[in-house]
Structure 1
Amino acid sequence: MVRVVVAGSTGWVGRALVSAILASEDLKLVGAVSRSAAGRDAGEAIGLKPVGVIARATLEEALAEPSDVVVDYTKPSAVKAHALTAIAARRHVVVGTSGLSAEDYAEIDDAAREKGVGVLAAGNFSITATLLKRFALEAARYVPDVEIIDYASAKKPDTPSGTARELAEVLSFVRQEPTSKPVDELSGIHETRGAAIGLSTPVQVHSLRLPGFVLSCEAIFGLPDERLVIRHDAGASSAPYVAGTLLAIRRVNEHVGLRRGLDSLMDEGQ
């Protein structure tokens, strides 16, 4: 039985995840973090019957109880501190919150290796978003020019989305040198070309924040006289993210250190 603490237990994904954990046979909810529901039963806080777990205001309070895995679906401003706190307490960590940089992940990886625990982080835990990443990586082997457009609602607090950031970072390691003119050689307003993301051969990412969108991400590849667009669109439900997160909870203990992306599990036959 894997004992789980959910940080962000009353949030959009968190409440669906709590319900799924309670319904599972091999997972046990032992802690919940929610400032808005602190002191209340974690089940009642999301409209279920009492489950005997009291929501806490801080992760430190929730870690007072024995647990195996901490799942974070909170906010970009809190997720790094939560991950490092959980690692220091020798808990495995599943990171579902976006907003972390490559440098943040490197720090988390170092801490996890020092404590001998596993961390699995994904910009998007949905199966179809994971396939977007896989297909884009395949296309990048053959098409040198690629850029990413990241769509989200007007209220999304981070930019780019975790999906777009993760995609750009992994593409930067496999893509060929682009044929487009370098941004620093352009005239006009350079910021209109988006942000260059990635450690090797960076990818330009453009973020739109408008009413009418939930989450969408598209990788656009171009060759002379042809174009390939690989796009993922998310609906208003959090359901697509739950199954992938449950898989991560069950398998995050298999490796020490950080792994990025749900595809790191899919590649192992799942």
Structure 2
Amino acid sequence: MLNVCFAGVTGWTAAAIVPAIGAATDLALTSGVSRSAAGRSLAEVTGLDVDGSVYATVPAALDAAAVDVVVDFTKAGVVRDNVWAAVAAGKHVVIGTSGLTADDYAEIDKHAREHGVGVLAAGNFSVGAAVLRRAAALAARHVAHWEIIDYASAAKGDVPSGTARELAETLGQVRQPGGAVPLADLHGPVEARGADVAGSRVHSVRLPGFVVSTEVVFAGVGERVIMRHDPGPSADPYVAGTLLAIRRVGEAVGVRRGIDSLLFDES
């Protein structure tokens, strides 16, 4: 039985994932973290028949309850401190919060190895997003030019989304895309060309009606290949991937990125 602390227990994603943790026979929800609900019981906050309480911080939750894995679906401004505290306490961590950079993950990886724990981070825990990432990495071996378009709700403040950032970093490990007009040679605001993330141009669109959609456009001479992942309005697509990550995060020490590392044969 794995004991789980869910940071962000009152959030949008938690509404789908927390009941699935509660229903699993091999997982136990033992604590939650939420500043707005701190001091209340888990049963009251989640509607589940579980023991335990909700705490204002991750360290407080770890001090009060048995925890094997901390799951973080909070906000960009607090996720790093949450992860750092959990790793320092010797707990495995599943990160579903966006906003961390490649440098952040390098530091977390070092921290996790020093404490002998596993960290599994994914910009998107849906199987569909994992398939997109794997298919795009394959395409990048053969098509030299691409750009990424990141769609999210008007209220999402971190740019680009973790899904788009993770995709760009994955493609950057395959190779760098073919060049376009250098920024210094552009006429007009260079911001119109998007941000450079691991060598890829990424354009973030923030509008009502989106959750987190990710599109990558590959182009060659006289042809284009467009790949896109569109989740629905609920957090249901992220349940299976998150549970898989909780169950397997302890299999390796250090940081692993993306649930495709769990879904696909790396050989």
How does the TM-score come out when normalised to structure 2? 0.96
State the Cα deviation string for residues 130-165 of structure 1 (Å, max 9, x = none).
111011111101111000000011001211010000
Q: Which position in structure 2 is the counterpart of 1:35? A: 35
Aligned length: 265
3-state SS of paired residue (1:216): strand
Q: Within 5 Å, which residues of 2 pair with 1:1-270?
A: 1-46=1-46, 48-64=47-63, 65-198=65-198, 202-268=199-265
Q: Is the 8 A contact 2:22 2:48 kept in 1?
A: no
Structure-2 change in CA distance of 1:49 and 1:111 (3 Å):
closer
> Quick one: distance in 2 between partners of 1:14 and 1:49?
12
- What amino acid maps onto 2:200 in structure 1? V
Structure-2 change in CA distance of 1:192 and 1:50 (3 Å):
same
- Following superposition, the deviation at residue 50 of structure 1 comes to 4.4
Where do 5+ consecutive residues of structure 2 fail to align? Answer: none
- What amino acid maps onto 2:180 in structure 1? S
> Quick one: distance in 1 between partners of 2:176 and 2:34?
44
Q: Is the 8 A contact 1:143 1:176 kept in 2?
A: no
Q: Is the 8 A contact 1:216 1:233 kept in 2?
A: yes
> Quick one: distance in 2 between partners of 1:113 and 1:12?
31
3-state SS of paired residue (2:245): helix
> Quick one: distance in 1 between partners of 2:236 and 2:202?
27
State the Cα deviation string for residues 74-110 of structure 1 (Å, max 9, x = none).
0000101000000000000000001100110011000
Q: Once superposed, what is the RMSD of the aligned Cα atoms?
A: 1.3
3-state SS of paired residue (2:261): helix
- Following superposition, the deviation at residue 188 of structure 1 comes to 2.2
- Following superposition, the deviation at residue 43 of structure 1 comes to 2.6
Q: Is the 8 A contact 1:217 1:233 kept in 2?
A: yes
3-state SS of paired residue (2:256): strand
> Quick one: distance in 2 between partners of 1:101 and 1:126?
20
Q: Is the 8 A contact 2:145 2:178 kept in 1?
A: yes
State the Cα deviation string for residues 189-217 of structure 1 (Å, max 9, x = none).
2111000101xxx0000000011212211
Structure-2 change in CA distance of 1:221 and 1:177 (3 Å):
closer
User: More deviation in 49-58 or 243-252?
Assistant: 49-58
Q: Is the 8 A contact 2:146 2:177 kept in 1?
A: no
State the Cα deviation string for residues 199-236 of structure 1 (Å, max 9, x = none).
xxx00000000112122110001112111100000111
Q: Is the 8 A contact 1:141 1:176 kept in 2?
A: no
> Quick one: distance in 2 between partners of 1:127 and 1:74?
21
- Segments of 4+ moved more than 3 angstroms: none
- What amino acid maps onto 1:258 in structure 2? V
> Quick one: distance in 1 between partners of 2:76 and 2:186?
33
How does the TM-score come out when normalised to structure 1? 0.95
